[in-house]
């Protein structure tokens, strides 16, 4: 039988009760303590209305113990972003069939009870949400078996077992927690939880890394930038030698920033991991010397058991070219839950028709003449400007290659004369003198004429983000139409 996360926590608590399970705000929670809190929560959960349980709370040891309690009581945990509008949250919980929603304020009461924990089990452990920035997100159920296979891969590749410390930067509702929190607890390591309060404070993040000495760090590129900038500000030649694996995920890492990170993490291997909520991780690339010369990092190889094709114009692309990535992973969701749009991108392979359930990622991937794969952008981010194809992501990569640019987004904006015009929004470094003249010159040296933006907006404020931390493109399109 498949071992569950909660079964594993019990086993760790029985064999190594004093081992740390969580590190939080300078203190440790042992496996013994975590298992006790989990049992108390499970007893409390057994008294709640049957069915999935909604959890709308920020990251904390209590929240994690409560999620474990739900899983132990055989309940599916519905975890949307707590920052979504209240109406959207209500609709999501309703659609998920969650009879009870627990907020941060309820956690205290909800984690105790004397009900006999009911031992039945849902097929699904979690329901996460997609990161669409418009409308109500879709619910993505994740089955117990898929999660167990995923924790196996994480452990084989990175060792998250006893004696190891794994940093968790992402919020509790992010799919990245399947790696950072749930795989680590399943395999017996210690999760170093980043308090959401310090998530944007590079100095505090740097201190946390220096004092807790994690072995595995996975985060979005922005995290590494914050930490590297803070290290630069300290002046001293500070290094973080404990880290054996640095993982970039969730967004494109700018290769020009790699040398700085290699100096900061002198003993690490570096990985670029690609995936999405629906399928979990599907590709990994291990970085090599010289990668800093590239404009973008490649996707690398499919993870063990992952099947991937590039599909273009109804055929499987076997040679060089660009096509939509279609994948099947051992970790993928059984399909969207109770979605009015039906199965969406889940379904039979569009070409092979082999009866296996695949996922059309909507991501365009380019295969070069050496067979190397790299992300060309979202299928819906390929736009025609003045009759020519422009890959928005490529424009963004080039922008981010400038040392004066902190954040950058390229968008196609409807235009009364040109049909569509290319607009870029850039956040420059506070101390830089970047203006549109300088940036246009820089772009002209690196991009074809069609990819030179018609209009540029350069500022020092952070770009607006959606509830899952991605740049809110829709909002920027609306803003630039208003000009």
Partner 1 sequence: MENKTIITSYLVREFLPDVRTDELESDYDLLAGGVIDSLALLRVVDWITTEFDLSIDDLDLSPDNFRSVDNISALVASAKS
Which residues would be at the binding site for partner 1 (CB under 8 A)?
386, 417-418, 435-437, 440-441, 443-444, 449, 452-454, 456, 458
Tokens describing residue 298 = 């490649």
Could you tell me the CA-to-CA distances from 431 to 201, 207, 404, 459 in Å, in that order? 19, 24, 8, 12
Nearer of residues 313 and 416 to partner 1, judged by Cβ? 416
Nearer of residues 120 and 417 to partner 1, judged by Cβ? 417
Smallest gap from residue 224 Cβ to partner 1 (A): 29
Smallest gap from residue 436 Cβ to partner 1 (A): 5
Smallest gap from residue 464 Cβ to partner 1 (A): 20
Smallest gap from residue 410 Cβ to partner 1 (A): 13
Q: Which residues contact 216 (CB under 8 A, 6 or more apart)?
A: 158, 159, 160, 164, 165, 166, 167, 243, 244, 245, 247
Smallest gap from residue 452 Cβ to partner 1 (A): 4
Smallest gap from residue 390 Cβ to partner 1 (A): 12
Nearer of residues 198 and 383 to partner 1, judged by Cβ? 383
Nearer of residues 370 and 417 to partner 1, judged by Cβ? 417
Three-state SS sequence of the chain = CCCCHHHHHHHHHHHCCCCEEEEECCEEEEHHHHHHHHHHHHHHHCCCCCCCEEEECCCCHHHHHHHHHHHHCCCCEECCCCCCCHHHHHHHHHHHCCCEEEEHHHHHHHCCCCCCCCCCCCCEEEEEECCCCCCCCCEEEEEHHHHHHHHHHHHHHHCCCCCCEEEECCCCCCCCHHHHHHHHHHHCCEEEECCHHHCCCHHHHHHHHHHHCCCEEEECHHHHHHHHHHHHHHCCCCCCCCCCEEEEECCCCCHHHHHHHHHHCCCCEEEEEEEECCCEEEEEEECCCCHHHCCCCCCCEECCCCEEEEEECCEECCCCEEEEEEEECCCCCCCCCCCCCCCCCEEECCCCCCCCEEEEEEEEEEECCCCCEEEEEEHHHEEEECCEEEEHHHHHHHHHCCCCEEEEEEEEEEECCCEEEEEEEEEECCCCCCCHHHHHHHHHCCCCHHHCCCEEEEECCCCCECCCCCECHHHHHHHHHHC
Smallest gap from residue 388 Cβ to partner 1 (A): 13
The size of the chain, in residues, is 483
Nearer of residues 403 and 450 to partner 1, judged by Cβ? 450
Residue 8 CA neighbour count, 13 Å, CB half: 20
Nearer of residues 295 and 436 to partner 1, judged by Cβ? 436
Nearer of residues 301 and 440 to partner 1, judged by Cβ? 440
Nearer of residues 115 and 386 to partner 1, judged by Cβ? 386
Nearer of residues 137 and 453 to partner 1, judged by Cβ? 453
Nearer of residues 65 and 424 to partner 1, judged by Cβ? 424
- Per DSSP bridges, beta strands 190-193 and 216-219 are unpaired
Smallest gap from residue 287 Cβ to partner 1 (A): 33
Nearer of residues 35 and 410 to partner 1, judged by Cβ? 410
């Amino acid at each position: 039988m498949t071992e569950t996360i909660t079964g594993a926590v019990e086993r760790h608590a029985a064999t190594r009760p004093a081992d740390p399970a969580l590190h939080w705000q300078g203190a440790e929670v042992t496996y013994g303590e975590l298992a006790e809190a989990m049992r108390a929560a499970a007893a409390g959960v057994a008294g709640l209305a049957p069915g999935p349980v909604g959890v709308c709370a920020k990251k904390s040891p209590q929240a994690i113990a409560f999620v474990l309690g739900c899983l132990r009581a055989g309940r599916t945990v519905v975890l949307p972003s707590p920052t979504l509008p209240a109406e959207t949250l209500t609709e999501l919980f309703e659609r998920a069939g969650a009879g009870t929603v627990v907020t941060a304020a309820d956690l205290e009461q909800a984690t105790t009870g004397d009900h006999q924990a009911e031992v039945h089990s849902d097929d699904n452990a979690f329901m996460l949400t997609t990161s669409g920035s418009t409308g109500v997100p879709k619910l993505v159920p994740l089955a117990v078996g898929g999660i167990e296979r995923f924790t196996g891969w994480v452990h084989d590749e990175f060792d998250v077992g006893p004696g190891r410390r794994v940093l968790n930067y992402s919020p509790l509702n992010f799919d990245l927690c399947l790696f950072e929190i749930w795989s680590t607890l399943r395999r017996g390591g210690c999760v170093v939880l980043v308090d959401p309060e310090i998530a944007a404070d590079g100095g505090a993040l740097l201190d946390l890394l220096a004092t807790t000495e994690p072995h595995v760090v996975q985060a979005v590129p922005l995290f590494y930038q914050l930490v590297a900038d803070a290290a630069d500000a300290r002046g001293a030649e500070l290094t973080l030698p404990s880290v054996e694996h640095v993982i970039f995920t969730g967004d494109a890492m700018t290769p020009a920033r790699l040398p700085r990170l290699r100096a900061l993490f002198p003993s690490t291997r570096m990985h670029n991991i690609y995936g999405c909520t629906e399928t979990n991780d599907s590709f990994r690339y291990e970085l090599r010397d010289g990668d800093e010369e590239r404009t973008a990092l490649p996707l690398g190889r499919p993870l063990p058991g992952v099947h991937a094709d590039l599909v273009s114009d109804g055929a499987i692309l076997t040679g060089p070219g660009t096509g939509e990535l279609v994948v099947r992973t051992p970790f993928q969701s059984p399909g969207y839950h109770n979605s009015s749009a039906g199965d969406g991108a889940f379904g039979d392979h569009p070409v092979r028709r082999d009866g296996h359930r695949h996922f059309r990622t909507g991501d365009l991937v380019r295969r070069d003449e050496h067979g190397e794969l790299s992300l060309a952008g979202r299928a819906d981010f390929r736009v025609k400007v003045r009759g020519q194809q422009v890959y928005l992501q490529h424009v963004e990569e080039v922008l981010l290659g400038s040392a004066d640019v902190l954040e950058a987004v390229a968008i196609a904006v409807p235009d009364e004369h040109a049909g569509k015009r290319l607009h870029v929004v850039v956040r420059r470094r506070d101390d830089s003198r970047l203006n549109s003249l300088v940036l246009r010159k820089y772009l002209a040296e690196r991009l074809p004429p069609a990819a030179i933006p018609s209009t540029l907006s350069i500022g020092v404020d952070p770009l607006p983000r959606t509830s899952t931390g991605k740049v809110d493109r829709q909002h920027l399109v609306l803003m630039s139409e208003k000009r």
